[in-house]
Amino acid sequence: MSETTIALISIIGVACVFVLGTIRPYNIGVLGFAFSLIVVTVCGVDINTAIGGFPTSTFIMLAGITYMFTTARLNGSIDLLCNKVLKSIKGRRALLPWIFFIAGALLSACGNGPGAATIILAPTALELAKKANINSLLMGSVLVFGTFAGSLAQINWFGVLVSSSIENLGYSMPGTLLIDSIICNTIAAVVFYILLGGLKLFKKDESAGSVESSAALQQTAPATLEQKVTFLAILALIICGAVFAMNVGFTSFLLGLILNLFNPKREAQVIKEMPWSTIVLVSGIVTLVTLMDNLGGTDLVVDAITAVVPSTVAPLVLLMLAGLASFYATSSAVIVAFAPMAIQLMETIGSTNVAGMLAALVIASTMVDCSPLAINGAALVANVQAEDKQVFFKKLMVVGLVMVPIGSILGWLLFYVLGL
């Protein structure tokens, strides 16, 4: 079997997963694992090629964080924290999404990266959204855009990964890329805030009075010893990730285990209530996408673009593909995979604006990560409280798909065409 045929089969496998996951209520992660086996069997490839694509670090991070924060939710800490925050803003619910935008940007920039920052903040943000009657999609989207606004700082793993990937190809990361990311993600957050009803929250504040005036919030009990220790554990997690560069997933397992010492019998409930369907979803689809990339599926698509698309729009098409890939995979992997393609494309069409193209690639890839198939969107789905997870999942799918052309066109226009 030729390499081209193998690459084509891998692309068909990924397409089948998304079609089946759309028309039937199957877990896309389970489909991803199943079709990984089908692809390697049909292609005659060693199964270890698929196993090697399993996102071990993502699995540990997602499982560890959800283990710890499920514990925090069950011991009442998340609920207590939400009530305290609502009281502190004196009912100004319109400010809540922006509080989490800023918190996400700072937490992401200070060592945790966008994925961990979203996972850490999502439980509190979405619980607060439920209590304050704020659209969960609005809160989640603004939070994710915030985490990516600060993601390219050179003191977190994501920023270092992006810069090192570019440097390994013989180029330097554009010096203004962090500022570019802040500007683009802030614009996206403002647009979604307005479109999803954020401005109406100001009117609600005036007409409905303060959020903290509800009887439930007024009757908030003082924090117990276990809850105080939980807050210290959350602070310790942030410090361990930002200052000591410790693995957030493993650290979360350790801290969660310590918290469950207060009530060992509760751990069985914690394990049961962890969002395993979401964890399987992310793990399965990333495994299949990585397999497709290893079998040459991504290269085949790029070759097809350069063969049929005029050179004037080829960069935009490549950015669209990168955005689409980030829609169902992690943007860090997409950037690493597409950066060589972007540089090769620049050489093929004779363009000298390599730095602008790389900046556009980073923006196009990261602005799509509110997709529920990426770790950030998956964290939102895992923690949404105000509505059915399947419904919320579909809404995030729409947001992610909308951001594919928006992020691509914005990056292409600002950094490749205008050279900002």
**Which residues fall within 8 angstroms of residue 66, CB to CB, at 6 or more apart?**
119, 274, 275, 279, 382
34 in a structural domain: yes
Which helix (DSSP H) or strand (DSSP E) does residue 5 occupy?
A: helix 3-23
> What distance in Å separates the CA atoms of residue 124 and residue 77, rounded to the nearest whole number?
10
pLDDT at 33: 96
Q: What is the pLDDT of residues 39-90, one digit of tens each?
A: 999 999 999 999 998 988 878 887 888 899 889 889 988 778 767 766 777 6
> What distance in Å separates the CA atoms of residue 105 and residue 413, rounded to the nearest whole number?
24
7 in a structural domain: yes
pLDDT at 110: 67
418 in a structural domain: no
286 in a structural domain: yes
> What distance in Å separates the CA atoms of residue 163 and residue 65, rounded to the nearest whole number?
27
Supply φ then ψ for residue 390, to 5 degrees.
-65, -40
DSSP string for residues in 120-138: HHHHHHHHHHHHTT--HHH
Tokens encoding 20: 């089946």
> What distance in Å separates the CA atoms of residue 108 and residue 59, rounded to the nearest whole number?
19
12 in a structural domain: yes
Tokens encoding 358: 């790389």
Least confident of 31-35, 229-233, 240-244, 396-400: 240-244
pLDDT at 216: 46
Whether the pLDDT of residue 219 is over 90: the answer is no
4 in a structural domain: yes
pLDDT at 154: 65
DSSP string for residues in 95-163: GHHHHHHHHHHHHIIIIIHHHHHHHHHHHHHHHHHHHTT--HHHHHHHHHHHHHHTTT-TTSHHHHHHH
Mean pLDDT of 140-153: 90
Mean pLDDT of the chain: 83
Residue 207's pLDDT band (boundaries 50, 70, 90)? very low
> What distance in Å separates the CA atoms of residue 206 and residue 150, rounded to the nearest whole number?
32
314 in a structural domain: no
Overall number of domains in the chain: 1
Q: What percent of the chain has pLDDT over 90?
A: 26
For residue 376, the tally of other CB atoms under 10 A from its CB is: 30
> What distance in Å separates the CA atoms of residue 377 and residue 390, rounded to the nearest whole number?
13
**Which residues fall within 8 angstroms of residue 151, CB to CB, at 6 or more apart?**
108, 109, 113, 114, 158, 159, 181, 366
For residue 394, the tally of other CB atoms under 10 A from its CB is: 12
Tokens encoding 156: 């977190």
44 in a structural domain: yes
Q: What residue numbers bound the domain in which 41 lies?
A: 1-51+276-295
